[in-house]
Amino acid sequence: MNNAFHVIAEAGTNNNGNLQKAKNLVDIAKRAGADSVKFQMINTWGLYLPGKYEYGHYKIEDVIRIREAGEMSDEEYIELSNYANQIGIPFSSSVFDEKALKLLDQFNPPYIKIASCDLNNIRFLRQVAEYQRKIILSTGMSTLADIENTLSVINKESKCDIVLLHCVSIYPCALEQTNLSYINTLKSKFGVPVGFSDHTGSSHAACVALSLGATWFEKHFTEDKNQEGLDHAYAMEEQGLLEYINDLKAASLSLKSSEKQLTEKELYTRRRARRSLYAAKDLSIGHILTDADVLCVRPENIMQADEIDILIGKPLTKSIQRFEPFSKDHV
């Protein structure tokens, strides 16, 4: 992980069924500094009902055509996984049926990703849980009750590690639709690591999510946003993904500790910016100090400004010259 967080570079099906394009996406994820690269193993006829029917703003015929064209063979996925291992980036996938689940398990993935659409697919989730691997579970389109029921189902089958990804299933998702405060709700309600499946067009929401305690980030990317496909338009190209990850790294530097630690650089500033206590004029032994006798000015010296009550009303035990710093030895 990038120290405090893990970025999943979500290639999805943006290789359009082409193995070389898939390898190119793996290369991009590696160059951008992602912690893992993830695809989507979709068996079209295991996901969609055959026939012609209304499918939102899409024509189902076009969706089926794109999905079928985007499929790869088991042998191609094996080669792709081997390639990712060869260049040194962990490989995984979203799975949507048992066939893909069995194939993915052969690659010893760092996690199994379950998309929001399958959060309530309890028959399939029971199969996933049997593999005893970390599950990354997106929570788009779901209520707290839905999530609670799903976790109950999984936990009855196994005690595998689970990460919940806060997700708003709108593509693309505007910043005002991200509802990032929900991350705190998921953390406090379920007591598991929480991340953010980010469908916005920048790193702004991700950096806020990081500050709220999100530790996993999923971001769609592509070689070329202008390609035909279902996910290219709201995915980031290479430079965008690189900047996204770098922005998260930079933001994480501001979240190092919940304790205040005075660095040498801040102490340097304090020495010139903080006030200390100085004599306003020459004063003799035995003089009873008043407010008018004490200057509270920069730079910092022996006695801090909040120690003035130690001096006021006390007799001097030794003389002090104008502009000389007070010490506790003077009273």
Torsion of CA 11, 16, 19, 23, to 10 degrees: -30
Instruction: Please report the pLDDT score of residue 31 as a whole number.
Output: 98
Residue where the block lists tokens 């690591």? 193
Which structural domains are found in the chain, ordered by start? 6-253 (3.20.20.70), 264-330 (3.90.1210.10)
Distance CA 21, CA 15 (A): 5
Contacts of 9 (CB under 8 A, 6+ apart): 25, 28, 29, 32, 34, 36, 37, 38, 219, 221, 241
User: Partners of 218 in the beta sheet?
Assistant: 8, 197
Contacts of 97 (CB under 8 A, 6+ apart): 43, 46, 47, 124
What's the whole-model pTM score? 0.88
Distance CA 105, CA 97 (A): 12
Instruction: Please report the pLDDT score of residue 72 as a whole number.
Output: 97
Q: Mean pLDDT per segment of 10 residues, for the chain of length 331 residues?
A: 86 96 98 98 95 94 94 98 98 98 98 98 97 98 98 95 97 97 98 98 98 98 91 93 97 89 94 97 98 98 98 98 98 97
Contacts of 190 (CB under 8 A, 6+ apart): 147, 148, 151, 164
8 Å CB contact between 165 and 194: yes
Residue where the block lists tokens 């055959």? 50
Instruction: Please report the pLDDT score of residue 2 as a whole number.
Output: 63
Residue 34 Cα to chain centre, angstroms: 12
Instruction: Please report the pLDDT score of residue 1 as a whole number.
Output: 56
Distances (CA, A) of 273 to 110, 268, 284: 50, 9, 29
> Which two tokens mark 228?
């035909």
Instruction: Please report the pLDDT score of residue 229 as a whole number.
Output: 83
Instruction: Please report the pLDDT score of residue 67 as a whole number.
Output: 94
Instruction: Please report the pLDDT score of residue 300 as a whole number.
Output: 97
